[in-house]
Amino acid sequence: MSKNSFKVLRPGISTTFQDLGRDNLYHVGLPFSGAIDKRNFLIANSLITNKEDDAVLEFAYQGPLLEFSGSQTSIVITGNVNFKIIKKDATEIKGECYRTYNLNNKDCLDIISTEKSVYGYLSVKGGFKINKFCNSYSTTVRAEVGPNDGKKIENGQTIILNAVDSAIEKSLEYLNSKIEFIRVIKGTNFDYFSEDSIKDFTSKDFIVSKLTDRMGMRLSGPKIKNLKKTNIKSEGLGKGVIQVPADGDPIVMLSDHGTIGGYPKIAVVISADYDKLAQCPPGEKIKFKIVNLTEAENLYKIYTMETKNIINKIR
Amino acid sequence: MIKNIYNLGDAALYCDFGDTVNKETNLKVINYFNDIREKNITGIKNIAPSYNKLIIYFDLELTNYKKIKDTVENLDISTFESAKTKIVKIPVCFDDEFAFDLERVEKKVGLGKKEIVNQLISQKYFCYMTGFIAGMPFLGDIKEKIRLDRLETPRVKVPKGSVGITEQFCNIYTFESPGGWNIIGNSPKKIFTKDPTKLTLIDPGDEVEFFEISKKEYSKFNEQK
């Protein structure tokens, strides 16, 4: 069997190998990283019948243009993604997310853009021929660790695929839904902020700014006023933590966040709503709603159950 | 020992060892950190020490805040000797090319360059924690004479290797990163190694010594790397 591979004809804005994330390295300054939208990551690997934690290519905004070489392979794309397959004879097939496609020698996969969202996922039957770093296929670009020397996919490079014979034919009817509120738990410095600012935080719109990437999401909106102090002793951070620096604009920590920070924490996004928040593109409006710990834990149970139910509907 | 335990969101908690930032408190945090890591408690995904707190991140599918809190509260932490610490020597070049904020530091603390460098290299430092970016060590305490606040506006990009000071601490930017510390030198030494068996050169609890190198030695060092 000839070697299956993709030649990168256009890398896209931020295309990286990711899996479920890398545990146990916070203490050296490495965050979990991993696929930002866990649900769409899991659906991608299930549809293509890979292992749950196999590596995928995650892309943001504009995705890659890839030329396939080899006998044949099956692929699937999840998220809200506009893509097409350009066959060797130049005929074009408009791509649909959540259904598998077979690629033959010299077919091109053109992942044009994510729509009204940020991240999309490409999973390939059999996975990519890449190495793990500390038990994970996740890439942390800032620390240069992970597959592909810890780098984003680059123009002209070749991505080797694990060769498999079987063609996959699966599909799923699924629509990524939006929610009215992003639910949060009060942060550990909640009482540093003025009553008016707390009211603003839980009632007014915040807009996702352009200063947003896998590390964090900066929001703009009503300025959050700190009454106590704007710097605290640096301490551990987690994904979903919302810090408010002296300028009053909140920053949400995303999967590649710095592991230590010294700005007061007004709130933390609940685990069940993290995917949905991280998928909000610049310009989108967000409203926050406070829930308690028990509610958050129950909502996470519902979230995992829903994910399982969605995956069970794959045909 | 632990003064208080409280949740950070639904999947993490802090063990708070009190408000004081000093070596004694931090050593307790580091001991708990080492001990809890060795115990391999079900559901704990990440654990890291900071000056006076321990953050524990857990898997909501396997456990929850209450269970981890109960487990940590009932731990028998036996060892209070920090066992595996070492002394690490780090070369630093204080050439003007690297020392972006030296002038600001000179003005604020009222000392000349030579004196500032001497103050910095004349003692050993204790590593309180590593993080923010991979391998970045938070070292202290620097002499009172050279203490000052961080920059009013942080830099968007601090070059890799930069050595910075702020308040009672100094650190080394192990990767290019945004940052607000006062940069007074640069080290050619690779601190984050990427070797999975030994990822960092400096670990919490270690002692660090700086020694001055010339620009010539600095560029030679780079060649050897």
Check B132 against A188: CB less than 8 A apart.
Answer: no
Closest CA to B9 of A220, A158, A257: A257
The pLDDT of residue A297 is 98
Mean pLDDT of the A28-48 span = 98
Mutate to test the interface with A, among B8, B10, B40 (most CBs of A within 10 A): B10
CATH fold of A5-160 reads: Jelly Rolls (2.60.120)
- CA distances from residue A69 to A15, A85, A99, A130, B95 in whole angstroms, order as listed: 20, 14, 21, 17, 52
Of chain A, the end-to-end C-alpha distance in Å amounts to 29
Instruction: Please report, for chain B, the start and end positions of each structural domain, with discontinuous segments joined by +.
Output: 4-73, 87-224
Phi and psi at B65, nearest 5°, equal: -55, -45
The pLDDT of residue B78 is 66
Give the pLDDT confidence of B184-204 residue by residue, as tens digits.
999 999 999 989 899 999 999
As given in the structure block, the two tokens for residue A311 are 């995956």
Give the pLDDT confidence of A83-130 residue by residue, as tens digits.
999 999 999 999 999 999 999 999 999 999 999 999 999 999 999 999
List every span in chain A annotated with CATH 2.60.120.
5-160
What is the full DSSP assignment across A216-243? EEEEESSPPPBSS-S----EE--TTEEE
List every span in chain A annotated with CATH 2.40.100.10.
182-312
Mean pLDDT of the B78-94 span = 81
Query: What number of other Cβ atoms are within 10 A of residue B213's Cβ?
Result: 22
As given in the structure block, the two tokens for residue A238 are 């987690």
CATH fold of B87-224 reads: Cyclophilin (2.40.100)
Q: What pTM does this model have?
A: 0.94
**CA atoms in the 13 A half-sphere facing the CB of B92:** 27
Give the pLDDT confidence of B117-141 residue by residue, as tens digits.
999 999 999 999 999 999 999 999 9
Closest chain B residue to the Cα of A143, Cα to Cα:
B134
Give the pLDDT confidence of B95-119 residue by residue, as tens digits.
999 999 999 999 999 999 999 999 9
Residues of A in contact with B52 (CB under 8 A): 233, 235
The pLDDT of residue B152 is 80
Q: Helix or strand or coil: residue B102?
A: helix
Give the pLDDT confidence of B59-81 residue by residue, as tens digits.
999 999 999 999 999 988 766 55
Lowest-pLDDT range of A106-110, A166-170, B50-54, B115-119: A166-170
Phi and psi at A213, nearest 5°, equal: -150, -165
Q: Which CATH class is domain A182-312?
A: mainly beta
Check B134 against A29: CB less than 8 A apart.
Answer: yes
Domain B4-73: give its CATH architecture: 2-Layer Sandwich (3.30)
Residues of A in contact with B9 (CB under 8 A): 185, 238, 240-241, 268-271, 296
Give the pLDDT confidence of A206-222 residue by residue, as tens digits.
999 999 999 999 999 99
Mutate to test the interface with A, among B19, B46, B156 (most CBs of A within 10 A): B46
Mean pLDDT of chain A, nearest integer = 96
Mean pLDDT of the A234-247 span = 94
Residue with the bigger pLDDT between B28 and B84: it is B28
Closest CB from A26, A134, A271 relative to B46: A26
Cα three-residue angle A174-A180-A182, rounded to 5 degrees: 95
